């Protein structure tokens, strides 16, 4: 049996939750309930359905768009934050779709940084590009990224001209974006690729008089000589061209050459695997999963949907040993927690909408995953350094993760004048809240990716939830509350215990993984 063979059985609730934790920013309880029993193929078809481009962010002051206006120097910082708040809310309000998770993935792959680009309109256009191509054809994606104004600014493509070629983007295109470090290419290949890419420039950068931003090709600054590559690329020669179409024609040939390299599909599939499945790729997975997945990629003419469909429907993906194998990124932790409790950003109320987005973005940023601003061209440290996801947990972020959970559970956090979590309303939906054993079993089963042992559950019941009182006393307290829900004392008797329970669970190691 191949690791890539499809998993055909109807999915259990735990399997649905696992799929949605990895493919989206986390399921709601209602999603898990309604989707249990469907097959992986059915769910993946839903996840891969085309989605429209979302409405652009608005200026909180005017209620109008700002990405399509001349650059505003005075409000540039504010608009950059609005852009990030908007993206955080798109993650929170996402439909049943892979799109937002893949958008974040590609922002960590085709990296640009807003602190370097320094034009919020360029960064908005970049996010639109990630959504447009993120589930499409990889070659078309790489071509579009190469011509993107933000990328031209970030990796100096706009400075790459005949006679003084700038090699920055040509190097990263091969090392980080398409072929990968194992491609065996030479410095001469970087120089040749840089010559292919001469002549491109952005237009409208930080222009306070015109709204239009675009990419232009300047034929008079393009290197028209033939470009010869090494044996790593079969000694390919890209014929030098002149004229208005020279840049696009040579770029097209360059991408064809990079995609013919045997390492390219494996490199992209490894990155997808590390993001969606597991940071570690042992030899068995390399030969039994990555290589056949790379063949799917190559044979589909580098379409991304067939690759993602095969990945998420595979026997290997549903291997129980992979549950809890990944430490949650700050986005997965913060947005996923809000989504579990059914929180949505109300787009009909702009002030309320941005209050939620601002909170989400602030928590994600302080936990070291600043949206649109990874620390280097390699992306966020957790995705390329030794140890990968382990880097999300350190002496600073562990405490901040705990504080985030505390703010939610104690109702210290109020957004739009309301507590984020209504734990009593949620507990009422469980199978039998009057039974503390069933309550803890249901709650941990839904909140945690890893199954707890019975001793762990007993500890949570007797020590954390009940604080050593007999279990039957909880039954009486709960029933008393249900009979008199407006009685403050009876409500607090159960709410205080549930708050302490959730506060503990949110700090458990098992809650930090998925």
Over residues 201-210, the pLDDT tens digits come to 999 999 999 9
* Cβ–Cβ under 8 Å, residues 244 and 217: yes
Residues ≥6 apart with Cβ < 8 Å to 272:
105, 307, 308, 311
277's CB contacts (< 8 A; 6+ apart) are 22, 311, 316, 317, 322, 325, 326
Query: At 58, is the secondary structure helix, strand, or coil?
Result: strand
Residues 28 and 164 in one domain: yes
| pLDDT at residue number 388 | 65
Classify residue 330: in a domain, yes or no. Answer: no
pLDDT at 385: 59
E strand residue ranges, 367-443: 414-415, 418-419
User: Which residues, in sequence order, are CB contacts of 469 under 8 Å at separation 6+?
Assistant: none
- With a cut of 70, say whether residue 386 has pLDDT above it: no
Answer whether residue 444 shows pLDDT above 80: yes
Q: From 373, 375, 276, select the one nearest 332 (Cα to Cα).
A: 276
- Tokens representing 82 are 């609005």
Q: Average pLDDT in the 241-250 region?
A: 97
Q: Which of 90-104, 219-233, 338-352 has the lowest mean pLDDT?
A: 338-352
Residues 240, 112 share a domain: yes
- Domain finish residue from 322, 350, 375: 322
In a domain, 375, yes or no: no
pLDDT at position 430, please? 93
Nearest-Å Rg of the Cα atoms of the chain is 25
Query: Residue 164, SS3?
Result: strand
Q: Looking at the predicted structure, is the pLDDT value of residue 410 above 90?
A: no
Residue 417's pLDDT band, with cuts at 50, 70 and 90, is confident
* Residue ending a domain, choose from 322, 353, 377: 322
**Based on the domain organization, do 428 and 302 belong to the same domain?**
no
pLDDT of residue 29: 86
Closest CA to 347 of 337, 339, 357: 357
Is residue 363 one of the residues assigned to a domain?
no
In percent, the amount of the chain with pLDDT more than 70 equals 98
- Structure confidence at residue 81 (pLDDT): 97
Q: Are residues 314 and 432 in the same domain?
A: no
Q: Which of 322, 343, 367 is the last residue of a domain?
A: 322
**For residue 164, pLDDT beyond 90:** yes
Mean pLDDT of 59-88: 97
Please indicate, yes or no, if residue 366 is contained in any of the structural domains: no
The pLDDT mean for the chain works out to 95
User: Does residue 428 sit in the same domain as residue 318?
Assistant: no
Instruction: Assess whether 139 and 286 both reside in one domain.
Output: yes
345 within a domain of the structure (yes/no)? no
**Integer Cα distance of 401 and 5 in angstroms:** 37
Q: Are 152 and 283 part of one and the same domain?
A: yes
Do 80 and 224 lie in a common domain? yes
pLDDT at 418 over 90: no
Q: What percent of the chain has pLDDT over 90?
A: 92
Check whether residue 453 and residue 306 sit in a common domain: no
Q: How confident is the model at residue 1 (pLDDT cuts 50, 70, 90)?
A: low
With beta carbons less than 8 A apart as the criterion, state whether 14 and 303 touch.
no
Whether the pLDDT of residue 416 is over 80: the answer is no
Task: Tell me: do 316 and 435 sit in the same domain.
Answer: no
Residue 373 lies in a domain: no
On whether residue 457 sits in a domain, the answer given is yes
- Whole-number pLDDT of residue 347: 85
Question: Do 224 and 195 contact (CB within 8 A), yes or no?
Answer: no
d(CA 185, CA 174): 8
pLDDT per residue over 188-203, tens digit each? 999 999 999 999 999 9
Kindly state whether residues 317 and 430 are assigned to the same domain: no
User: Does residue 387 surpass a pLDDT of 80?
Assistant: no
Beta strands 227-228 and 418-419: pairing type?
Answer: unpaired
The two tokens of residue 399 are 């405490």
Section 117-128 average pLDDT: 98
Residue 487 in domain? yes
Domain coverage including residue 161: 13-322
Question: Is 511 within 8 Å of 327 (Cβ atoms)?
Answer: no
How many domains is the chain built from? 2
Specify the range with the lowest mean pLDDT, choosing from 30-39, 406-415, 504-513. 406-415
What letters, b where the CB count within 10 A reaches 16 and e where it falls short, cover 290-308? bebbbebbbebebbbbbbb
3 state SS of 200: strand
Q: pLDDT tens digit string along 170-187?
A: 999 999 999 999 999 999
How much is the average pLDDT of 486-491?
A: 95
As a whole number, mean pLDDT of residues 287-301 equals 97
In degrees, to the nearest 5, what angle opens at C-alpha 233 toward C-alphas 110 and 237?
Answer: 105
Nearest to 204 by CA among 107, 80, 68: 68
If asked whether residues 243 and 110 sit together in one domain, one would say yes
Is the model's pLDDT at 437 over the cut of 80?
yes
């Amino acid at each position: 049996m191949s690791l890539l063979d499809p998993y055909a059985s109807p999915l259990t609730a735990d399997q649905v939750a696992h799929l949605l934790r990895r493919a989206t920013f986390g399921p709601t309880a209602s999603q898990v309930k309604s989707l249990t029993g469907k097959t992986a193929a059915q769910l993946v078809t839903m996840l891969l359905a085309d989605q429209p481009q979302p409405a652009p962010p608005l200026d909180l002051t005017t209620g109008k768009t700002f990405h399509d206006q001349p650059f505003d120097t005075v409000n540039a910082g504010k608009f950059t934050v609005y852009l990030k708040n908007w993206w955080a809310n798109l993650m929170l309000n996402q439909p049943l779709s892979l799109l937002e998770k893949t958008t974040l993935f590609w922002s960590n792959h085709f990296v640009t940084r807003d602190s370097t680009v320094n034009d919020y309109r360029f960064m908005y256009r970049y996010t639109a590009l990630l959504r447009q191509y993120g589930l499409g054809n990889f070659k078309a994606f790489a071509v579009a990224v190469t011509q993107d104004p933000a990328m031209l600014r970030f990796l100096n493509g706009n400075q790459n001209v005949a006679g003084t070629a700038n090699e920055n983007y040509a190097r990263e295109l091969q090392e980080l974006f398409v072929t990968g470090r194992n491609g065996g290419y030479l410095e001469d290949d970087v120089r040749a690729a840089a010559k292919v890419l001469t002549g491109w420039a952005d237009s409208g950068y930080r222009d306070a008089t015109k709204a239009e931003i675009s990419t232009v090709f300047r034929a008079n600054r393009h290197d028209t000589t033939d470009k010869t590559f090494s044996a790593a690329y079969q000694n390919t020669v890209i014929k030098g061209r002149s004229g208005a179409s020279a840049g696009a024609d040579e770029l097209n040939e360059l991408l064809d050459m990079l995609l013919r390299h045997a390492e390219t599909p494996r490199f992209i599939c490894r990155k997808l695997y590390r993001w969606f499945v597991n940071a570690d790729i042992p030899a068995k997975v390399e030969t039994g999963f990555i290589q056949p997945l790379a063949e799917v990629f190559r044979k589909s003419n580098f379409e991304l949907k067939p690759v993602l469909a095969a990945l998420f429907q595979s026997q290997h993906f549903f291997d129980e040993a992979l549950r809890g194998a990944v430490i949650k990124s700050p986005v997965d932790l913060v947005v996923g927690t809000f989504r579990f409790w059914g929180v949505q950003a109300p787009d009909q109320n702009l002030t309320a909408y941005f209050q939620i987005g601002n909170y989400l973005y602030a928590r994600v940023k302080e936990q070291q995953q600043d949206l649109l601003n990874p620390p280097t061209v390699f992306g966020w440290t957790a995705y390329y350094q030794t140890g990968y996801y382990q880097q999300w947990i350190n002496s600073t972020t562990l405490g901040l993760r705990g504080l985030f959970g505390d703010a939610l559970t104690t109702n210290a956090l109020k957004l739009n004048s309301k507590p984020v979590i209504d734990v009593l309303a949620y507990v009422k939906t469980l199978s039998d809240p009057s039974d503390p054993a069933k309550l803890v079993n249901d709650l941990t089963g839904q909140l945690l990716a890893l199954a707890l042992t019975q001793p762990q559950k007993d500890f949570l019941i007797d020590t954390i939830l009940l604080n050593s009182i007999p279990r039957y006393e909880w039954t009486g307290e709960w029933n008393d509350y249900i009979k008199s829900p407006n009685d403050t004392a009876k409500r607090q008797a159960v709410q205080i215990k549930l708050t302490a329970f959730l506060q503990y669970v949110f700090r458990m190691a098992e809650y930090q993984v998925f």
